[in-house]
Amino acid sequence: MIGPIRHIVMWRVSGDTPQERTTARLKVKAAFEGLRGRIEGMTHIEIGLDVSAVDYACDVVLVTEFATPADLEAYASHPEHLRVRRELADLRIARFQVDYAPDESAGETATSEIAAPRLHSDALAGE
Per residue in 70-87, pLDDT (tens digit) is 999 999 999 999 999 999
Residue spans of alpha helices (H) in the chain:
18-33, 69-76, 79-88, 104-115, 121-125
Whole-angstrom distance, CA of residue 125 vs CA of residue 127? 6
Predicted local confidence at residue 107, as pLDDT: 56
Radius of gyration of the chain (CA): 20
Q: Domain range holding 119?
A: 5-125
Residues of the chain scoring pLDDT < 50: 108-127
The number of folded domains in the chain is 1
DSSP secondary structure letter of residue 56: T
pTM across the whole model:
0.79
Predicted local confidence at residue 105, as pLDDT: 65
Predicted local confidence at residue 106, as pLDDT: 62
- Nearest CA to 1 out of 68, 65, 96 is that of 68
Q: Is 80 helix (H, G, I), strand (E, B) or coil?
A: helix
| CATH number of the domain where residue 63 is located | 3.30.70.100
Report residue 119: phi and psi, to 5°. Answer: -110, 140
